Structure 1
Amino acid sequence: MKKRTFLKLSSTLLAAPVLPPLTGWIADDKPRNWAGNYQYSTDKLYPARTFQQVQELVKKYDKLKVLGTRHCFNGIADSTHQMISLLEMHQVLALDPKAKTVTVDANLKYGDLATYLDRKGFALHNLASLPHISVAGACATATHGSGVKNGNLSTAVAALEIVLANGEVRTLSRAKDGEAFRAAVVHLGGLGVVTKVTLDIQPTFKMRQFVYENLPLDQLKNHFDAIEKSAYSVSLFTDWQKKRVNEVWLKERMGAGKPAAAKPEFYGARLATRNLHPIAELSAVNCTEQMGVPGPWYERLPHFRMGFTPSSGKELQSEYFVPARNAVEAILAVERMRDRISPHLFISEIRTIDADDLWMSPCYKQPSVAIHFTWKPEWPAVRNLLPMIEKELAPFGVRPHWGKLFSITPAQLQTRYEKLPEFRKLLTDYDPKGKFRNAFLNTNIFGK
C-alpha cells in the first residue's frame, strides 16, 4: 500500500504558545493521530496486553507516555522516548447493578461499552460526538457531549486505577478520596498509566433527534437559554455566514408527555426533511439517525455512527470554553470574524456543558459553552487565526480543550485554572522524576 503523506506538527514546544511549527511533508512509519495532522515523535511503541505487562514497561523505562485511540490534535500524548499502547486492553471488567457502576479497561471505546451496557439494561449519562474514543483518553482531557444538565464525560468517573512511575498501583475513588480524586480525574496523562476506570451508569433509555435548518442569529441572541434547554442534548452547527445557524440538532429523551411529532418550526428554523451531515456537502450516511426515529441512547447521543468515518476525516480541530453566562457575547465575538474564519472552516459547533468540581476541567465550577472549530487541513492559515479568536474570547476567561489546537500562552492558561498550582504539585508527588512528562506538560503546566 502506498504511504500517505501528512503535515507534521513538531512536538518541540520551545516557545510560549503550544502551537508547533510547520515542518513540511513527511512519509515514514512513525504513528500519526486519527486525522493525520499530527505525527508522533518516536516509533518506539510497545503494546501491553496485560496489567502485568503495563507494570513491567513502566518499571523498565525512565520516560514513557500512553498512546490511545489517537483522537487528540496536539502533542498531549506525544513522547520523544517511548510510548505504550493499551489498544489490546479493551474489556468490560465488572458490572455492578446495585452500585450502578461499570468498571472497564482504560482503552475500551465508548461505542463498544455502550452496546454492552444497553444489552444489560443500562446507559451512560452522555456521549461525545464520536463514539470511537477511549474511556481513559476522553476522561483525561475532559471531553464532552452537550446538554445544560449534563457534565462532561469525566464527571461519570467513580474510580481510577493508576500504575505509578515506580510500578506501584494506586486506586482513587470519589467515595473515599475526595479532593485527591477530583484532582486526578482530568489528569492530562501526567500521573501515570490509567489501567481501569469505573463509571456511573443509569437505566437505559430511548431517544430521538430532530434537525432544524437556518436558525436566525437574532433568535439565537434573544433566546439562547431557551434553545439550549429545549432538549436533553442540543448542538448548533454554523459556518458563521448569513447571520444564521445552519443546523440545530435536538436530541430528546423519550418518555411520557412527549409530543408524537416535531413542530415544523423552531425559533424561525425549519424542520429538515431528510437526514443531514453537520458539513452540508457531505453525505449523512455516517451520521446517527434523525427525523425523529426512536432508537437507543447510544445511537442518538453521538453525531456519528461507530462503524463509519466521523466528521470529515482529514481535518484540524480547536475548541474554546467560556462561562455560559457569556455565551451570546462570545458567539457574537466570533461571528464578527466570520469572513476571516469561514474560508478555512468545515463547520463550527456550539454546545453547553454543566459545571463540575474536577480541578483541570474547563468546566470547573462554571456551566460552560464550548465553541468548536472543525478546520480544513490548512495549518498555516489556522495557526494565524487561533490567536485572533483567542484574543476575542479573552475577556470571558476562555479555556481551550486540552486535546485540541490552541495558542494561549502558559502564563495566560495557568491564570484560568485556580487549582493549577496544586495540580502541578500533585504531578510532582505522583511522578517526582517526570517519567510521564512531555513537551506539552512541561510547557503548559510547568512552563512560564
Structure 2
Amino acid sequence: MQQKTSEAAARARPATNWAGNVTYRAARLHRPTSTAELQDVVARSERVKVLGSRHCFNDIADTTGDLVVLDGLGSDVEIDGSPGADGGTAWIPAGMPYSQLVPDLAARGYGLPNLASLPHITVAGATATGTHGSGNRNGSLSTSVVGMDLVRSDGGTVTLTPGDPDFPGAVVHLGALGVVTRIGLRFQPTFQVRTNVYVGLTWDRLVTDFQAVTDAAYSVSVFTDWQEVTQVWVKSRTDELGNAAQENTAPEEFFGARAATVPTHMLTNTPVENLTEQLGVPGEWHERLPHFRTGFTPSNGNELQTEYFVPRRYVREVCDALRSLGPRIAPLLQVSELRTVAADDLWLSPAYGADVLALHFTWFRDETRVRALLPEIEAALRPYGARPHWGKVFTADADELERLYPRIPDFRALVRRFDPRGAFRNDFLDRTVAAFG
C-alpha cells in the first residue's frame, strides 16, 4: 500500500514551473482540504513549501520534501463589517487566483486599487513576493494586505494585522515564515478604467518628461526593445477624466506619440484576442488593469522573466545604461516594460522606502544565455541600487541583497522566531537571505 501511495504522489506532483525552467524535486504533493489537515502536513514534514500558480521563474517554491497546494481550502470570500465609502476588508483563501477573486468583488460593487498584468496568479504568491501593477500613486499588491492567517512550522496558527510589530516584515515573506491560509485585502468602491495605446514616443521625451508621462493616468506602462520606445499603454480611471469620460474620447497625441487606431499587442505579430480591451472603451477595473484577459492563457510559458526596481529619480541614468547594452539584450529579448510603483514600508518589498521604476524583461527561454547576460545588466544597474524581483531570474547573492534591502537582518530574526526548525528553508532562501542559524 505504501508503494502505491508513493507512486500516486509522484504522479500527482507538478514536474515544472509555468515557464518550464525549474523542475520541482519534492517527494510528495499535498492538497489539504482543511486547515487542520494542512497543520498536520506541516508539523510532520521535515521540509515543506507552498506551490501557487507556478508563475515564479526561479526555485523559490522548490524543496526536496513536501509541496502543498492550497486550492482545496475553500473559495468563500468574506467581507469584514459594513464597508463605507472608503471601502473595507475582504478575507480571501490564500490559494485563490486573482482571476477568481476579482469578478466576485466587482459583482459586489468593490474594487482593488491595483492588479498585476496577469490575473492568473494567486493572491498568496503575488503578495509574498512584492508583485505589483503600475501607477505613480499605486502601491504593489502587497500593500493591500491588512491581515494574514498563517500556519507555523510547529503546526500552530497565528493571525497578523497591521497593529502587530511583525506585520511589515511578514507581508512580503518569500514563503519563509509559514503557510499563509487566509489573507485580508483592503478594497474600495468599484471604478471603471479605459485603456489607450500610443506609439512613437521618443526616448528623449520619455526621460525628460518621465514624471509627467507616468502621472498622466492612473496606470501607465511603457514598452521598449531598448532601441526605441515601442508603445505606451495609458490606463485612466473614468471618474478622474471629467468631460472626456462622458465623451468617450482620448487625446490623439500623448507627449508627441500618436494614438493607436487598432488594438495593439506589446509583441509584434501576436494575436490580440487575449488582451484586455483597448481603444478607450470603458470597463470595470478588473477588466482593464491587467494586460491579459482572465479567460485566456497569456502565452504558452515559453519565456523567462527578470525585473529590477530602482529609485524613480534615476530614470535617465538607468535607461541610458540599458540602452548601451541594447545590442547584447536584443537577441534574447521578447519585450521590456517600464512601470512605476509607490513606496511602502514592507521590509522585503522592492519598493521599500522609495518610489521606484520597475524594469521588466521578458526573455526568450534560453536560460544559459540569459543567465550569462544578467551579471552585465546587474553591474550596469548597481550604482542605482537596483533590487531584483524575488520571483524572477536574477544572480545577486545574499551579500548584495543585504546591501539593497536594509531590513534583511531583521527579517532573518523574524524567520528564526517563526520557523526555528527550518522547515520552510530551501536553496533559494539560503542563497538570497542566508545565515538563519
Q: Structure 2 counterpart of 1:180, which letter? A: D
> Any conservation in 2 of the 1:30–1:43 contact (CA below 8 Å)?
no
Structure 1 spans left out of the alignment, 5+ residues:
1-26
Once the 2 structures are TM-superposed, how far is the Cα of residue 97 of structure 1 from its aligned partner? 5.3
> Any conservation in 2 of the 1:89–1:108 contact (CA below 8 Å)?
no
Instruction: Provide the secondary structure at the position in 2 that maps to 1:369.
Output: strand
Corresponding position: 1:408 with 2:396: yes
Query: 1:52-99 CA distances to partner (integer Å, 9 max, x unpaired)?
Result: 111110111121111111110001111011111112235133113525
Corresponding position: 1:37 with 2:25: no
Instruction: Find the aligned partners of 1:413 and 1:231 in 2 and give their Cα distance.
Output: 33
Q: 1:60 aligns with which of 44, 49, 68?
A: 44
Q: 2:183 aligns with which of 170, 192, 197?
A: 197
Q: 2:127 aligns with which of 125, 130, 139?
A: 139
Corresponding position: 1:391 with 2:379: yes
| Cross-structure match for 1:434 | 422
> Any conservation in 2 of the 1:31–1:43 contact (CA below 8 Å)?
no
Q: Structure 2 counterpart of 1:229, which letter? A: D
Once the 2 structures are TM-superposed, how far is the Cα of residue 392 of structure 1 from its aligned partner? 0.4
| Cross-structure match for 2:314 | 326
> Any conservation in 2 of the 1:72–1:403 contact (CA below 8 Å)?
yes
The 3 A distance-change label for structure 1 pair 311 and 214 is farther
Instruction: Find the aligned partners of 1:433 and 1:258 in 2 and give their Cα distance.
Output: 60
Instruction: Find the aligned partners of 1:93 and 1:293 in 2 and give their Cα distance.
Output: 29
Paired residues for 1:144-223 under 5 Å: 144-174=132-162, 176-177=163-164, 179-223=165-209
Instruction: Find the aligned partners of 1:417 and 1:381 in 2 and give their Cα distance.
Output: 27
| Cross-structure match for 2:5 | none
> Any conservation in 1 of the 2:124–2:180 contact (CA below 8 Å)?
yes
TM (normalized to structure 2)? 0.93
Instruction: Provide the secondary structure at the position in 1 that maps to 2:309.
Output: strand
Instruction: Provide the secondary structure at the position in 1 that maps to 2:50.
Output: strand
The 3 A distance-change label for structure 1 pair 139 and 432 is same
Instruction: Provide the secondary structure at the position in 1 that maps to 2:166.
Output: helix
Instruction: Provide the secondary structure at the position in 2 that maps to 1:440.
Output: helix
Once the 2 structures are TM-superposed, how far is the Cα of residue 29 of structure 1 from its aligned partner? 6.9
Q: Structure 2 counterpart of 1:385, which letter? A: L
Corresponding position: 1:69 with 2:69: no
The 3 A distance-change label for structure 1 pair 215 and 50 is same
Write out the 4+ residue segments of structure 1 that deviate beyond 6 Å after TM superposition: none
Once the 2 structures are TM-superposed, how far is the Cα of residue 170 of structure 1 from its aligned partner? 0.3
Query: 1:202-259 CA distances to partner (integer Å, 9 max, x unpaired)?
Result: 0001110000012111111211110000110000011112xx3101000000025141
The 3 A distance-change label for structure 1 pair 312 and 330 is farther
Give the share of equivalent positions with the same residue, in percent.
Answer: 47
Instruction: Find the aligned partners of 1:28 and 1:316 in 2 and give their Cα distance.
Output: 25
Q: Structure 2 counterpart of 1:205, which letter? A: F
The 3 A distance-change label for structure 1 pair 31 and 87 is farther
Instruction: Find the aligned partners of 2:32 and 2:200 in 1 and give their Cα distance.
Output: 49
| Cross-structure match for 1:9 | none
> Any conservation in 1 of the 2:42–2:155 contact (CA below 8 Å)?
yes
| Cross-structure match for 1:50 | 34
Mean CA deviation greater in 289-298 or 252-261: 252-261
Query: 1:349-377 CA distances to partner (integer Å, 9 max, x unpaired)?
Result: 00000000001101001000000000001
Q: Structure 2 counterpart of 1:440, which letter? A: F
| Cross-structure match for 1:15 | none
| Cross-structure match for 1:5 | none
The 3 A distance-change label for structure 1 pair 58 and 205 is same
